[in-house]
Amino acid sequence: MYFFRHDLKEKHQVNVDVPHLKYMMCLNESTLDPFQVVKHEFLDLMHNIHLNRYYSNITQELYQEIATYADVENDQIILGNGADEMLYYLFNAVRDNSNSFALSLSPSYFDYQSYCDAVGLSLKTITLLDDFSIDLDNLSLVSENPNCRLIIICNPNNPTGNLFPRDDIIRIIELNPDKLILIDETYFEFSGVTLVDLINKYANLVIIRTFSKAFSAAGLRFGYMISSKENIHEIKKVFTAFNLSILTQALALTIIRNKKIFLEYNQQIIRQREELYNFLNNIDRVQVFKSFTNFLLFRCKDYIDLFHYLKENEIAVRIVGDQGILKNCLRVSVADRKLNQVFIKAVNEFRI
């Protein structure tokens, strides 16, 4: 006897398959611990919070702080447990029937597929061109299908690190007024590029962001979604009540109130990114790609050997070379100078 949705038998559990080593440069995490930065202010805040209650005044305070930061109204955002939960709920909200599908780019964020699978939403992909640009003609052709419910664009894109031209994205938005266009701005603070200024212009635009990258809080699991108040009203219908822990809200509120510290740290990471880019770019047999994120994508013929050599030296990077146009590619997170030097030393030793 099988008790679950019939298609679950052929699906897999969500699994982040990376080595767990001393130097984690595979998940685009920050080396700055946010709790150590804001712990005194956070603990002071907690003195006035009652965890025996469902409701807390900090919820509206957090909504206001995030809305102000994003330059939108309070009723144009939803808060949740990381960008991943935002994806899960949005995919659930747009799925109409078993024929419904979302349309994304390839290569792009690995877990769009995972969360589509989780809610029974199919995912079709459009392969990027060799220069990592969008094949607009092919995308337009597939999106004409009435079963296409959502188009997903990660900008800057993960794992390629590039930005898509604003005009290309606007063209996609305008050519598809009958379906939502999701812009994943997980790496917005590293690129400085956003489409949030278009939220009031295009009724079909949705944006998601996270505290996992630029605010150094991957383990906090906090993210938010931005759209028109009408869209937010509808999407909230698939959310659970009290979906976000008061503890999470309190720490997120403390972090956003101290955003200057984190945004200044991001500028250090951007400088480190350029130094690491220059290092890889000066290696003859390596092709490194420009990035607007906190990671770098690079190609080398012996990438599997390099991956295992780094692993032997307790350095974890991400293999992405099995994704079509990313043949022979690895992705490395940009860290602080100390950790970057560990990576640089190991790569130099591998070259000898």
Q: Within 10 A of 198 (CB to CB), how many other CB atoms are there?
A: 16
Residue 232 has pLDDT above 80, yes or no: yes
Q: Which two tokens stand for residue 301?
A: 């013929």
Q: Within 10 A of 343 (CB to CB), how many other CB atoms are there?
A: 22
Q: How does pLDDT run across 273-328, given as a tens digit for each residue? A: 999 999 999 999 999 999 999 999 999 999 999 999 999 999 999 999 877 899 99
What's the CATH code, domain 45-258?
3.40.640.10
Q: How does pLDDT run across 198-231, given as a tens digit for each residue? A: 999 999 999 999 999 999 999 999 999 999 999 9
Nearest to 100 by CA among 143, 140, 146: 146
For residue 217, the model assigns a pLDDT of 98
Q: How does pLDDT run across 122-138, given as a tens digit for each residue? A: 999 999 999 999 999 99
Q: In percent, how much of the chain has pLDDT > 70?
A: 100
Domain boundaries, the chain: 6-32+260-351, 45-258
In the CATH hierarchy, which fold is given to the domain comprising 6-32+260-351? Aspartate Aminotransferase, domain 1 (3.90.1150)
Q: Is 206 exposed, middle or buried (0-12, 13-18, 19+ CB in 10 A)?
A: buried
Burial 213-249 (b: 16+ CB within 10 A, else e): bbbbbbebbbbbbbbbeebbeebeeebeeeebebebb
Q: How does pLDDT run across 243-276, given as a tens digit for each residue? A: 999 999 999 999 999 999 999 999 999 999 999 9
For residue 78, the model assigns a pLDDT of 98
Residue 111 has pLDDT above 70, yes or no: yes
Residue 352 — pLDDT band, cuts 50, 70, 90?
A: low
